[in-house]
Amino acid sequence: MVQDTPNPNAKKFVMNKPVKREGKSTYHNQEETFNNILAHDLMGVAHVDSVHFFKNVITVTQDGMAEWEDLEWLVKAILETRMPIHNPDYQDKPAEPQEKPKPKDPELLKIDEILDRTVRSALQVDGGDIELLAIEDNYLMVRYLGACGSCPASTAGTLQAIQSILRDEYRDDIQVVIA
C-alpha cells in the first residue's frame, strides 16, 4: 500500500511483512546500504534522494525533479522483486570505531522519553522520525529522518511544536535546531 506523507517529495510504502525488525535505517546513497540489497536498488532509481526503513514501512524521498506516477511504478517493481529475498534482520555497516564509546547523555535520554510519549509516533505515521544528536547549553541539535528530512513543515511547524513541548515538559529556555 502506498500512502502520501505531509512531505510532497516523500511516499510511504507499507509492506505486509517487516522490512526492519529492530531499529531503523536511513540511506542517502548506495554506498551506505552495505548489505541491504533492497535499499541499494531503491537508491539506484533516478531522483530518489533517500530511503528510510522502519518496522514494515519504507519511506522513499525524491529530489522533486520527477513525477510520482513515474517513480512509484519503479519503486513498486523493485519491492515486488526484492522483498521475497529481503532479510528484515539485516545489520547496517558498523560505525567506524571510536576511541571509547560514550554513554548516552542522561539529558538526551530524558528528552527522548518525552518525544517518544508526545510526537515520535506521529512522525513515524507520516513516514519519518527524529534523532537527537547533542545538547549544548540550551541548544538541542536534532536530525530529521525519512519523510521528515526534506519536508517543508519539519523546518517550521513541526520544529516549533517540538520546541514548545520540550519547553513545557523539560526546560523553558530550550532551543531546538536542525543540525
Q: Check: CB of residue 101 under 8 Å from CB of residue 137.
A: no
- Residue 103: per-residue pLDDT: 57
Q: For 117-143, how does the pLDDT look when each residue is reduced to its tens digit (9 = 90+)?
A: 988 888 887 777 888 888 999 999 988
Residue 104 to residue 109: CA distance in whole angstroms: 7
Task: Provide the whole-model pTM.
Answer: 0.72
The superfamily in CATH containing domain 2-85 is Scaffold protein Nfu/NifU, N-terminal domain (3.30.1370.70)
For 20-45, write each residue's pLDDT tens digit: 999 889 999 999 998 899 999 999 99
pLDDT confidence of residue 119: 86
Domain boundaries, the chain: 2-85, 106-178
CA distance 150 to 146: 8
**CATH topology for the 106-178 domain:** GMP Synthetase; Chain A, domain 3 (3.30.300)
Report the alpha-carbon distance of residue 49 to residue 111 in Å, rounded.
Answer: 29
pLDDT along the chain (179 residues), means of 10: 90 95 91 92 95 94 93 96 94 65 77 90 80 90 79 74 91 90
Rounded Cα distance between 44 and 86, Å, is 16
Q: Kind of pairing, strands 57-62 and 128-136?
A: unpaired
Task: Determine the pLDDT at residue 101.
Answer: 47
Cell numbers for 177, please give them.
Answer: 535546531
- 145 touches 24 (CB < 8 A): yes
Grid cell, residue 23, equals 531499529
User: Which pLDDT score is estimated for 95?
Assistant: 62
